[in-house]
Structure 1
Amino acid sequence: MSESSIQVSKQTVRKRIWDLLERQNVAPNGSRGRIPSFEGSDAAAELLSKHAAWKESSVIKAVPDRAQQPVRARALDEGKHLYMAAPKLASVKPFYFIDPNSLSIPAWEVADRRKAIEYAHPVEVAEMPPVDMIVCGSVAVNTQGIRLGKGAGYSDIEVALLQEANLIPADTLIVTTVHELQVVEQQLPECEHDFRVDLIVTPERVIECPSHRRPPGIIWESLTPQMISAIPVLANRNLQESDNCRFS
């Protein structure tokens, strides 16, 4: 299947799930085109907090989407170091660090992505420690761990940057919290740069996914020139590699 065919297939699934969530009134209006916030996201976060891997984790990297706000709040409440990506990775320092020991307002408020920026410290990838758990959002996911995001590709790039920096040990779990209706049984299309999840947590259950190979890092062929130029950490690397080739 060609790359364009895969993207069409992905978008077909996304549309079906967005329609379903709206029809069942478990996601707010305006979720289309986004990682949907969902009814029971706090229950999913609570269920995740009971998992042994969560209890053993001290460094959490989480997406800034509203659906994962309960996870971020719980991480801060429990004293875990929290890292989030800068919006659209559009900063020379592409991640934010939130220190749970320096908060002057409730964790739930800091976990709001709009408020988090006020309390976060921008950091480069080289400044980050190894990550114990990665929490991402999804539009759809199957029990094999194949997930579909909203289609922008930022989560894949975030994971790839950490993977290249050796900040994702083999025992680091990649987790997604979703509504039960977002879990599908069908085979989902995926590309070389797509990562799979190890754990799916809904408000009702925890699904352990089979082990799999992770992408080794940035797959440059999958990125458009526009995406590279819009993400400083990629644009700078691309320029450096071009200079090295020119002067080698």
Structure 2
Amino acid sequence: MDIDQAKQAVRKRVWRRLIDGGGAPADSYGKIPGFYGTDGTAEQLAGLGEWRRATTVKANPDWAQLPVRVRALKDGKRVYMAVPRMASPQPFYLLDPESLTLPPEEVAEKKGAAQVARRVGVEEVEPIDIVVCGSVAVNRSGARIGKGAGYSDLEVALLIEAGLVTEKTIIVAPVHGLQVIEDDIPETEHDFSVDYIVTPDTVIPCPNRRRPRGLVWDDLTSEKIAAIPVLAQRRPT
């Protein structure tokens, strides 16, 4: 079994466990799960000293992390939310709490952000204090796995290359407790680990920090590069 097949086997097992265990609705299969208790993850995260000190948050656009994005805006933090599928030369929405024209609950949704938020390129992003990443499964060493599209890895790698995600940046995974597994999660050169797992009930510090040095071009197909404008612009010649 190659590493992609091994990762997919983990995903299928966790989607099934989460749904069968009553942790998320059935339509969560195949996605970043919209688990029950998402508001609790925002509360747990807000209790961290790193959160209180943070001024900038980079977040994925999935529904499960909406309460965290809303909490960040209510706490006065600038939020950089990934444009879905990175389908723009400016791959992030800037949600600025000082200039919102919609309530945080609306602007932090994909639809609201698309209506009112400014798209920004990597060169306009400020250094990131906290990265919030959607995950299908995580283990206590901090290894994580997404739904398989690879966008979180690319977004973080871009920001590392630009010097905006550094050793000082904290990466967190808000998930349901049923998404926290004891098994090993296969990792490749482009994968990053998380510093904290945040469930509706607790915060789990993870000891084995792992970050790529930047974009791993050898892991990207020509089709993937062509489909993501910000990668096509940076492709080494």
Cα deviation, residue 182, structure 1: 0.3
Question: Structure 2: how far apart are the matches of 1:113 and 1:25?
Answer: 26
AA partner of residue 167 (structure 2): A
Contact map agreement 2:82 2:92 (CA 8 A) in 1: yes
The answer on whether the counterparts of 2:24 and 2:34 sit within 8 Å (CA) in structure 1 is yes
Please report how far the alpha carbon of residue 103 of structure 1 lies from its aligned counterpart in structure 2 after TM superposition. Answer: 1.8
Contact 2:128–2:165, Cα closer than 8 Å, also in 1: yes
1:203-222 aligned within 5 A: 203-222=200-219
Aligned to 1:34: 31
Alignment of 1:90-129 (within 5 A): 90-129=87-126
8 Å CA contact retained: 2:132, 2:172:
yes
RMSD of aligned alpha carbons: 1.1
Shifted more, 62-71 versus 166-175: the winner is: 166-175
- Which secondary structure state, in structure 1, belongs to the residue aligned with residue 105 of structure 2? helix
Q: 1:109-153 CA deviation, whole Å, 9 max, x = no partner?
A: 111112111121111101111001000011000000000100000
Q: For the residues of structure 2 that align with 1:220 and 1:169, how far apart are their CA atoms?
A: 20
Residue aligning to 1:47: 44
Q: Does 1:165 pair with 2:162?
A: yes
Helix, strand or coil: the match of 1:170? Answer: coil
Greater mean alpha carbon deviation, residues 32-41 or residues 205-214:
205-214
**Identical-pair percentage:** 53
Match of residue 21, structure 1, among 11, 18, 21: 18
SS in 2 for 1:46: helix
Change (3 A) 1:213 1:26: closer
Cα deviation, residue 35, structure 1:
0.3
Report the counterpart of residue 187 of structure 1 in structure 2.
184
Could you tell me how far apart the structure 2 residues matched to 1:206 and 1:159 are?
22
Deviation of 1:217 after TM superposition, in Å, equals: 0.3
Runs of 4+, deviation exceeding 6 Å: none
Structure 2, unpaired ranges of 5+: none
TM-score normalised according to structure 2 size: 0.97
**Letter paired with 2:44:** L
Structure 1 residue identity aligned to 2:191 = D
Residue of structure 2 equivalent to 1:198: 195
The alignment's TM-score, normalised by the length of structure 1, stands at: 0.93
Equivalent residues, number: 237
* d(CA) in 2 for partners of 1:27, 1:221: 36
User: Deviation of residue 212 (structure 1)?
Assistant: 2.5
Distance 1:14 1:114 in 2: 27
Q: Which runs of 5+ in 1 are unaligned?
A: 243-248
Please say if 1:75 is aligned against 2:76.
Answer: no
Which residue does the alignment assign to 1:136?
133
The whole-number CA distance in structure 1 between the counterparts of 2:26 and 2:232 is 35
Residue 96 of structure 1 aligns with an amino acid whose one-letter code is Y
Cα-to-partner distance string for 1:144-199 (whole Å, 9 max, x where unaligned): 00001000000000000000000012111000000000001111111110000011
Paired with 1:64 and 1:34, the residues of 2 have a C-alpha distance of 12
Q: Does 1:178 align with 2:192?
A: no
Q: Distance in 2 between matches of 1:168 and 1:104?
A: 28
Describe the SS at the equivalent of 2:171.
strand
